[in-house]
Structure 1
Amino acid sequence: MKIAIHGRNFPESARPYIQSMFEELARRQTEVIISLGYREYLDNAAVAHYSEATYTVEEGVADADFIFSLGGDGTLLDAVTHVGSRQIPIIGINIGRLGFLATVAPASVRLMIDAIFNGQYTIDERTLVSVRSTQDIFGNLPFGLNDFTITRTQTSSMITVHSYLDGEFLNSYWADGLIISTPSGSTGYSLSCGGPVLLPQTESFIITPISPHNLNVRPMIVMDTCQLAFEVESRSGNFLAALDSRSYTVDTSVRISVQKEAFKARLVKLSDDNFLNTLRSKLNWGWDIRN
């Protein structure tokens, strides 16, 4: 078995679990390839990783049976771009904070490795959002798992986002911005702006305005088979376009279209991984000091 590994810096409390993971993989004679930046971090942190093989972010993971993401949800979003259309299954080990996507606890890493070697897992396929534009904004990675966002720049005033649904005019949003969220991203930025929570397999996108000038403008759910298009007006002549954690300043002359990506992200689910349980635990649903 071949395992790719990507991660970010970690607290000292996580060191024993990460070291234990590498030791277990070595014991099973697993072929391991590590992202170059993370390999350098592990060397500086004096973590024995038993592997000389690396890959760069630019080239991505060419072949592996799984990719382990060690960090929070942001690290897993990075891993999605490392995999791309190759759709290698991703396992999120939560060394971050909230962890809606990265759900494996560090203390459960050895149990997780045992589960994947024994085939005791399922694959959860997640829809990706795809962004096309008249300017090459996101290079060869024009897709994201969580959301695509149009926002004003820090120095600009409110922007106007003229929006179209399958070629038909939808609305002109006077706002600080607009979020196009997948079901996976419904628990992220969109939720904090008043958007609904969608189950991961819901075949929809959410259009969520950010601080709209018209208070009767509310989030809207549309089918993910549609194509959305946007034209932006801004006094500054530019705006920010963000795809998951990647953001760029874009001229208002640029036209953007958004639709469902042709391929999906494949997230590994273990037997105790349940989205409804995650919702209750991460959002403290039902928690009350009086109980």
Structure 2
Amino acid sequence: MNIAIYGRSFNDNFIAPIQFLFDELGKRKTQLYVFEAFNSYLRPRVNVKSDIKLFTKHTEIKNKVDCLISIGGDGSILDCVSIVKDSGIPILGINTGRLGFLSNISKEDIERAITSLFEKEFRIEKRALLHVDTTKNVFGKHAFALNELTLHRKDSSSMITIHTYIDDMFLNSYWADGLIIATPTGSTAYSLSCGGPIVTPGSDNFVITPIAPHNLNVRPVIVSDSSEIRLKVEGRSKHFLATLDSRSYNVDSEDEIIITKAEFKIKLIQLSEQNFFGTIRNKLMWGIDKRN
């Protein structure tokens, strides 16, 4: 099996589990492709076999690896989305971060996860993405997001106005600090912290969530992901900040932003006993009574 590995920095208490991961993969005669910057970070901390191959972009692993292991939190998974793009490479997330909705394999479960991977005892969960077009091609080749597109004010403390249309029908002019267009996957991220609903991953929807709107009657709205969402921003400043997952871009008031469903999906590897409802119950501590 050929496996790519991407990761971010981790605390010292994860050194032993990550060493165990590389040792187990080495025993199984796996050809490893390690992201070049992560390899430089690993070398002083973990013993990695010398016959690994390095990569820096998705074309160097496309059609060459069976899966990509992400080491980090949900932010690492989002980085991996930009790496695998539409290649169809499934992602397995090992959580060395905090909450970990997407990267949900704990250090205690690494051995079980590797066994399940090689014995093919896992499920592939396909997650929809959104695609963004602008009149000035602001986002280039990475005009997609697994979690959300967020529009923020940038050079001013004043609120911005975001004129929003759904399939050319006027929805609202949001007077707020910003606006989030989230996928079902992104509904448990920034949108949730701004009062948006939790949407199950298989739902064919977008969630439109305002950020601190200056109107108590404004609420999040769920629309079909077959819709085209069109945004036009205005404010005291002519420049605004647009964020696709963890990637930020400058947008000016002349840009019109159009959001549609992306033509490809991301594959996430889930262990057989894992499911979305169990994840949100455990991560959000539903039903936990500290009196017990």
Whether the TM-score (by the shorter chain) exceeds 0.5 is yes
Shift of 1:60: 6.0
Check 1:120–1:50 CA distance in 2 against 1; reply closer, same or farther (3 A cut). farther
Q: Which amino acid aligns with 1:84?
A: K
Shift of 1:58: 6.8
Contact 1:209 1:219 in 2 (8 A): yes
| Correspondence for 1:252 | 253
Contact 1:72 1:94 in 2 (8 A): yes
CA distance in 1 between counterparts of 2:32 and 2:122 reads: 20
Shift of 1:154: 5.1
Contact 1:128 1:182 in 2 (8 A): yes
CA distance in 1 between counterparts of 2:168 and 2:60 reads: 35
| Correspondence for 1:38 | 38
Q: Which amino acid aligns with 1:269?
A: Q
CA offsets 1:55-111 (integer angstroms, 9 cap, x no match)? 114756323100000000000010011000102000000111000001111122122
CA offsets 1:177-220 (integer angstroms, 9 cap, x no match)? 10000111111100111100011111111000001112111000
Shift of 1:248: 1.5
Check 1:40–1:150 CA distance in 2 against 1; reply closer, same or farther (3 A cut). same
| Structure 2 residues without counterparts, runs of 5 or longer | none
Q: Which amino acid aligns with 1:17?
A: P
| Correspondence for 1:110 | 111
Q: Which moved more, 1:130-139 or 1:119-128?
A: 130-139
Contact 2:133 2:259 in 1 (8 A): yes
Contact 1:227 1:258 in 2 (8 A): yes
Shift of 1:255: 0.9
| Correspondence for 1:126 | 127
| Structure 1 residues without counterparts, runs of 5 or longer | none
| Correspondence for 1:15 | 15
Q: Which moved more, 1:269-278 or 1:79-88?
A: 269-278
| Correspondence for 1:230 | 231
Q: Which amino acid aligns with 2:19?
A: Q
Q: Secondary structure at the match of 1:25?
A: helix
Shift of 1:274: 1.6
* 2:158 is aligned with 1:157: yes
| Correspondence for 2:29 | 29
CA distance in 1 between counterparts of 2:58 and 2:125 reads: 26
Contact 1:26 1:50 in 2 (8 A): no
CA RMSD of superposed structures (Å): 1.3
Contact 1:156 1:234 in 2 (8 A): no
CA offsets 1:236-267 (integer angstroms, 9 cap, x no match)? 11111000001122111111100110000100
CA distance in 2 between counterparts of 1:91 and 1:137 reads: 30
Percent identical across equivalent pairs? Answer: 47
| Correspondence for 2:263 | 262
CA distance in 2 between counterparts of 1:46 and 1:4 reads: 16
CA distance in 2 between counterparts of 1:218 and 1:58 reads: 39
CA distance in 1 between counterparts of 2:250 and 2:69 reads: 31
Contact 2:58 2:85 in 1 (8 A): no
Check 1:59–1:157 CA distance in 2 against 1; reply closer, same or farther (3 A cut). farther
Shift of 1:273: 1.2
Structure 1 residue ranges, 4+ long, deviating more than 4 angstroms after superposition: none
- Within 5 Å, give how 1:270-289 maps onto structure 2: 270-289=271-290
| Correspondence for 1:72 | 73
Shift of 1:134: 1.1
Q: Secondary structure at the match of 2:233?
A: strand
Q: Secondary structure at the match of 1:140?
A: helix
| Correspondence for 1:189 | 190
Contact 2:8 2:71 in 1 (8 A): yes
Check 1:243–1:49 CA distance in 2 against 1; reply closer, same or farther (3 A cut). farther
Shift of 1:136: 2.3
| Correspondence for 1:179 | 180
* 2:53 is aligned with 1:53: yes
| Correspondence for 2:147 | 146
Contact 2:15 2:46 in 1 (8 A): no
| Correspondence for 1:97 | 98
Check 1:255–1:115 CA distance in 2 against 1; reply closer, same or farther (3 A cut). same
CA distance in 2 between counterparts of 1:136 and 1:46 reads: 41
Check 1:149–1:60 CA distance in 2 against 1; reply closer, same or farther (3 A cut). farther
Q: Secondary structure at the match of 1:86?
A: coil
